[in-house]
Structure 1
């Protein structure tokens, strides 16, 4: 059986000094005690986060590499492929990732509770739910061309993008296998294998692109086929690893996977809504900016800022996944104080990273755009947005961490409501008023939406502060019983502060 990370990493002496008879931390009363907790939790966090960061960067690299190869075919091909992968595929990717987060909650808590036999059942149940979801999403791929034309895309771009979308339908279905297997392995902190598979897959993808696009001259068709092959290669490699080397969590196909499908769908859908509300909020600013005066400069400068912010986002996707594993494992173990301390340490470190990123952006505000463009007008526009970019980068360090805590604790529905109110009832209308009515342009639009992000972050921090972690352990125990596991034994004193 695998060992949760509470018993790994830091020195035995520190473990002996800081952990009580119940296996949880003793209350931290002194600065020396807090430093020790910080050291232990940092070690546990980054042991998970670094391999996941490598995995996400490799996945990000698949799209970048594909666009680079297609860009050498022609401008029309590049625009069409970018639309197909950046709009159609990204929509499905975000929704499927959210749907797959239900298993992240359940597997992490089951692993922490030592109920490894449930992990394989949860994964199979997620395969069923996500596979069915793909069938409902597939019409978007089939009718991509008329959908894109309705949004105002030129006919040539929409026609070719629609062809690419249809060719990448196999990649959509690979996500139904890929995400559950990823969450299955992450819950057990078996993340090094994910990094190895991701890196190997990136190399394979580069070879296939060279063969199909340059040697066979298949153009966008070859790029789409390479995308399908490498997506399924990663998914099947993860499945093979699980079947061959995860004997505790994988006990074979089970009819129990078909039980409680509808409650599992509700939990999955709540996760998907939570993720999509976040992703669509930032996508909406791009759509609104396209209707401003001097739209070329406005959209271009915002795109450059979004690209820079996206690279930082890859790191915090990894941190989000890591804290989700930590929270779900510790709740499953019945250790509320360890859960609380891991969250506090992660939020603190994330804020420090965000502040560092903001300082770098502000110091380099007159130069950051030179990587992307030689246009002086565009560089000046980006420089004016640098302060907003810096604030956004700070907010984007805290928000993914709290989302990870939400997934680990099973709070997806609560976070979805907070996102809906902060983003769409407040931030988006405010950005529209400041950007359009007050005529502050892209700065007003983005600034108003940042206020919505600040409101969301404050509300989520209040939720964290008010959380009763003993109650969360009890709810985790009830959740385990409800989903087919056993009750968690919690020996922690009620005076656990």
Structure 2
């Protein structure tokens, strides 16, 4: 009898292990369905800018400096605001999809278009008056004038962000983002050919590269819009609706919180580069830090993919009413991202003396990058956890909380410590980087604590209240036509 009991216990243990294994495998498949295409899309979109910059660099040094100035400051500024505001859609669409209120995704998408269109219109004057603004800030007159010309070319790009970001999040919430990756790859390939053809063969110069750039940003929009309107999302897109104009204030508030959350992160690195510009051997310091931030930025494409996957999975599970499922999703995505981050951490420690030569031939810059590589490796390791936690926050709708956390950790801890270590204690660029790491580490610890202490049953209830509050019966969702 005792032997039979032991056999039953062992069999039960094996079944439980198999059950856990199946759950992890199932969750991992759901995770990679979102994360894989999201990572590829981020790399492709980043590649559009890199290709544009490469062709502009062959036209002239002034043009390259002006393009880099507009792209790294103005376009990143607009991108951060609009992408951040669009991420409110990840919360709303993800939770509605989990709750099987499929038709609400289309209404949320249209509401987000209205919010982002308003924001984009407010950004236009900055791009129109770029040249005088740069002159006022002390920039070289010739570079400022050329930058002013580039900024006008980028206005259509800003408006592409409205539809690109929101359609991506609309499709991502339904795990239909393979189509996003396909159009991103097609756009990148076409952009490479058109930039060469129009700038080199047709001799259109800057106009050729910028025409190709605008097309590269709008082609995925037309493709994704065509996919949605063609009936491929028949459950979630029921046509244009007058209900899109209802309940815009709560969407606007959530969008503002999302925008603040992301912008505070994006501007953090910009402030650090500005701090470095006032140090001894500023050129070497800026070059070294820029190389490290570029490497960090490429790695962040992976992390942002996991951020999107985490937000979708958490929102879906909360909308479905499963607190247990949400917690399990967090564990799987965090473990997966951390594993990849650890491999990259080891790789950058091992190749610390080689990686910089991909970007520079300068021995001084290479030595500075090698000196910073351990900090870069630590940053990559932290970046494998921090975006996942931000994704959890987006999925649960905590954007305003994370915005305050970012403001405190980055701007009250990271930047002041970086300035003190860099200037007062003489650690130079390494001191600035340590400050950045400490700010990111503080943010990670706070978000870990918030996630750990969260009552997920209560979050399910909050999600249910939000879904019910903004629910519109399908019969009242406005005029529809078969074509849409």
What interval of TM-score do these two structures reach, taking the shorter chain for normalisation? over 0.9
Please list every run of 5 or more consecutive structure 1 residues that lacks an aligned counterpart in the other structure. Answer: 1-27, 487-497
TM-score using structure 1 length:
0.90
RMSD of aligned Cα (Å): 1.6
- Tell me how far apart the structure 1 counterparts of residues 370 and 262 of structure 2 sit (CA, whole Å): 30
**2:459 corresponds to 1:472:** yes
- Tell me how far apart the structure 2 counterparts of residues 29 and 358 of structure 1 sit (CA, whole Å): 36
Superposition map of 1:404-483 within 5 A: 404-483=391-470
Superposition map of 1:95-110 within 5 A: 95-110=81-96
- Tell me how far apart the structure 1 counterparts of residues 105 and 180 of structure 2 sit (CA, whole Å): 17
User: 1:247-298 CA deviation, whole Å, 9 max, x = no partner?
Assistant: 1111111000001111111100000000001111111111110000100110
Match of 2:237 among 217, 236, 250: 250
Which stretch of the first structure deviates more once superposed, 314-323 or 74-83?
Answer: 74-83
The answer to whether the Cα contact below 8 Å between 2:94 and 2:319 also exists between their aligned partners in 1 is: yes
The answer to whether the Cα contact below 8 Å between 2:422 and 2:432 also exists between their aligned partners in 1 is: yes
User: 1:83-115 CA deviation, whole Å, 9 max, x = no partner?
Assistant: 122211111011100010111110111111111
The answer to whether the Cα contact below 8 Å between 1:81 and 1:220 also exists between their aligned partners in 2 is: no
The 3-state SS of whatever aligns with 2:333 is helix
- Tell me how far apart the structure 1 counterparts of residues 25 and 102 of structure 2 sit (CA, whole Å): 28
User: 1:9-67 CA deviation, whole Å, 9 max, x = no partner?
Assistant: xxxxxxxxxxxxxxxxxxx9966554443322222211211111111111011001111
The aligned counterpart of 2:215 is: 229
The 3-state SS of whatever aligns with 1:89 is helix
Which stretch of the first structure deviates more once superposed, 345-354 or 110-119?
Answer: 345-354
The aligned counterpart of 1:262 is: 249
The aligned counterpart of 1:240 is: 226
The aligned counterpart of 1:91 is: 77
Deviation at 1:215, TM superposition (A): 2.3
The aligned counterpart of 1:67 is: 53
**2:313 corresponds to 1:326:** yes
- Tell me how far apart the structure 1 counterparts of residues 456 and 18 of structure 2 sit (CA, whole Å): 24
User: 1:428-453 CA deviation, whole Å, 9 max, x = no partner?
Assistant: 11111111111110101110221111
- Tell me how far apart the structure 2 counterparts of residues 430 and 251 of structure 1 sit (CA, whole Å): 52
Against the structure 1 CA distance between its residues 150 and 391, is the aligned structure 2 distance closer, same or farther, given a 3 Å change threshold? farther
Superposition map of 1:173-322 within 5 A: 173-244=159-230, 245-322=232-309
**2:353 corresponds to 1:366:** yes
**2:157 corresponds to 1:171:** yes
The aligned counterpart of 2:370 is: 383
Match of 2:140 among 154, 170, 187: 154
Deviation at 1:232, TM superposition (A): 1.9
The aligned counterpart of 1:495 is: none
Which stretch of the first structure deviates more once superposed, 298-307 or 142-151?
Answer: 142-151
Deviation at 1:80, TM superposition (A): 1.2
Deviation at 1:485, TM superposition (A): 5.0
- Tell me how far apart the structure 1 counterparts of residues 22 and 97 of structure 2 sit (CA, whole Å): 25
The answer to whether the Cα contact below 8 Å between 1:289 and 1:298 also exists between their aligned partners in 2 is: yes
Kindly tell me the number of residue pairs found equivalent between the two proteins: 459
- Tell me how far apart the structure 1 counterparts of residues 207 and 128 of structure 2 sit (CA, whole Å): 16
Deviation at 1:149, TM superposition (A): 2.8
The aligned counterpart of 1:80 is: 66
The aligned counterpart of 2:9 is: none
- Tell me how far apart the structure 2 counterparts of residues 383 and 147 of structure 1 sit (CA, whole Å): 37
Runs of 4+ in structure 1 displaced over 6 angstroms? none
User: 1:221-243 CA deviation, whole Å, 9 max, x = no partner?
Assistant: 22222222222221121111101
Please list every run of 5 or more consecutive structure 2 residues that lacks an aligned counterpart in the other structure. Answer: 1-13, 474-484
- Tell me how far apart the structure 2 counterparts of residues 302 and 234 of structure 1 sit (CA, whole Å): 33
The answer to whether the Cα contact below 8 Å between 1:168 and 1:225 also exists between their aligned partners in 2 is: no
Deviation at 1:474, TM superposition (A): 0.5
The answer to whether the Cα contact below 8 Å between 2:183 and 2:219 also exists between their aligned partners in 1 is: no
TM-score using structure 2 length:
0.92
The aligned counterpart of 1:10 is: none
